[in-house]
């Protein structure tokens, strides 16, 4: 930034203005510098050629393996995808299943659904020290096998579990 002083003592950025903008404003003719003829940088904005699978792997997305549908609570009717591996459930925006409108659910992970792709099975755990988590009306105290259409209750929110990967289908990679 090139700061200069005009004859009247006003300081201005000579990189932005050809003349003092304060003096020009007094005369009614402030003119910003014209950058249209300046060379533009040579930044490559093109995406390299790659197929969809390569893009998918670069982003590091995990495949959808199931979903949860809220059947009771402030988010009734909303659905949440479950992905390979660990799916933490709570109100925090950094979790996989974000129950943002459910005020009776902790911001931190309150429960977790784990998909084990080697076994093609789902497991549910409750986080210690948090509010009670129920599965089909029973308190979850340890890791339990989660079966299709189980109902999970966290606070006033009830979620129905639907497995996409099951005995009929599982991802090959």
pLDDT at 75: 96
Rg (CA), the chain: 29
Please list the residue range(s) of the chain that carry CATH number 2.60.200.20.
60-163
**Torsions phi, psi of 146, nearest 5?**
-100, 125
pLDDT at 151: 98
* Spatial distance between the Cα atoms of 19 and 22, rounded to a whole number of angstroms: 9
pLDDT at 55: 46
Q: Say how many C-beta atoms besides its own lie within 10 A of residue 133's C-beta.
A: 22
pLDDT at 102: 94
Three-state DSSP at 72 gives strand
pLDDT at 50: 53
Sequence-separated (6 or more) residues with CB below 8 Å from residue 66:
81, 82, 113, 115, 122, 161, 162, 163, 164, 165
Q: Which alpha helices (DSSP H) does 28-104 contain, by range?
A: 52-59
Could you read off the pLDDT tens digit of each residue along the chain, which spans 173 residues? Answer: 788 888 888 888 888 888 887 877 776 655 555 666 666 555 455 555 555 455 445 456 789 999 999 999 999 999 999 999 999 999 999 999 999 999 999 999 999 999 999 999 999 999 887 789 999 999 999 999 999 999 999 999 999 999 999 988 999 87
* CATH topology classification for 60-163: Tumour Suppressor Smad4 (2.60.200)
Q: What global pTM score does this model have?
A: 0.65
pLDDT at 124: 98
């Amino acid at each position: 930034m090139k700061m200069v002083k005009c004859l009247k003592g006003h300081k201005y950025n000579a990189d932005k203005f050809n003349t003092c903008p304060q003096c020009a404003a007094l005369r009614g003719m402030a003119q910003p510098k014209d950058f249209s003829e300046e060379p533009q940088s040579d930044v490559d904005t093109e995406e390299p050629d790659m197929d969809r699978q390569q893009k998918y792997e670069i982003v590091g997305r995990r495949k959808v393996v199931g979903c949860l549908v809220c059947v009771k609570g402030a988010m009734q009717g909303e659905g949440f995808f479950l992905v390979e591996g660990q799916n933490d459930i709570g109100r925090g925006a950094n979790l996989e299943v974000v129950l943002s409108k459910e005020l009776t659910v902790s911001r931190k992970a309150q429960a977790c659904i784990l998909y084990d792709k080697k076994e093609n099975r789902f497991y549910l755990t409750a986080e210690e020290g948090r509010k009670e988590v129920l599965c089909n009306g029973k308190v979850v105290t340890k890791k339990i096998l989660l079966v299709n259409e189980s109902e999970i209750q966290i606070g006033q929110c009830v979620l129905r579990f639907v497995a996409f990967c099951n005995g009929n289908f599982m991802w090959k990679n």
